[in-house]
């Protein structure tokens, strides 16, 4: 039986193209997160990184993102700690936890719009950090992550 690569291979075994194709383009990882210094609790806001094109949910400078945005997540299977910052719908987190892809994932739907149609992406609610003062960030918390 021919299994799709995400079932046949571990995250360690995937090539770059396979690894990149796991991203569904939700841009949830591009939302500003806040960490309570005392408790370590993590919170997600509706404020998006200034490099995010909110309409397409794509980074406007993906190649240089790590140089330009110090808090940008560089996902690596070598550093599984970073996966805790990802939403439960994210394929990297799901596969690392032994789960399958969500049934609307573009690799299954063959439709890059499915992540927006299912309201998983940030397209309809994110606001750019360009317009939000850092002191206002706590007012923009939308979810406790952990
Ligand atoms: S949360 Fe996961 S699936 Fe969504 S954009 Fe980030 S890496 Fe891609
Ligand atoms: S630099 Fe790009 S990939 Fe990184 S958080 Fe910002 S928009 Fe997202």
Domains of the chain, by residue range, sit at: 9-144
* Shortest-distance ligand to the CA of residue 28: 1
Å from CA of 59 to ligand 1 middle: 11
Are 52 and 126 spatial neighbours (Cβ–Cβ below 8 Å)?
Answer: yes
Are the C-beta atoms of 120 and 54 separated by less than 8 Å?
Answer: no
d(CA 68, CA 90): 24
Ligand nearest to the CA of 130: 2
Q: Tell me the H-state helices in the chain.
A: 5-8, 16-21, 65-68, 91-96, 106-109, 114-117
Whole-model pTM: value is: 0.92
69 lines ligand 2 (CB under 6 A): yes
The pLDDT tens digits of the residues spanning 99-139 come to 999 999 999 999 999 999 999 999 999 999 999 999 999 99
- pLDDT tens digits for 23-41? 999 999 999 999 999 998 9
Q: Which atom of ligand 1 is nearest to the CA of 87?
A: 1
Atom of ligand 2 nearest to the CA of 73: 4
The rounded Å distance from CA 143 to ligand 2 centre is 20
The C-alpha atoms of residue 36 and residue 116 are separated, in whole angstroms, by: 30
């Amino acid at each position: 039986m021919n299994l799709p690569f995400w079932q046949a291979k571990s995250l360690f075994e995937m090539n770059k193209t396979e690894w990149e194709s796991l991203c569904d383009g939700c841009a949830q990882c591009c939302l500003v997160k806040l960490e309570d210094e005392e408790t370590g609790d993590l919170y997600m806001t509706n404020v998006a990184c200034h490099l995010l094109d909110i309409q397409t949910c794509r980074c406007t400078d993906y190649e240089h993102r790590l140089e330009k945005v110090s808090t940008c997540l560089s996902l690596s299977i070598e550093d599984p700690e970073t996966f805790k910052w990802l939403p439960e719908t994210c394929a990297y987190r799901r596969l690392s936890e032994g789960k399958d892809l969500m049934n609307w994932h573009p690799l299954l739907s063959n439709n890059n719009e499915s992540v927006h149609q299912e309201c998983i992406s940030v397209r309809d609610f994110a606001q750019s950090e360009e317009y939000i003062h850092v002191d206002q960030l706590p007012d923009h918390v939308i979810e406790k992550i952990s």
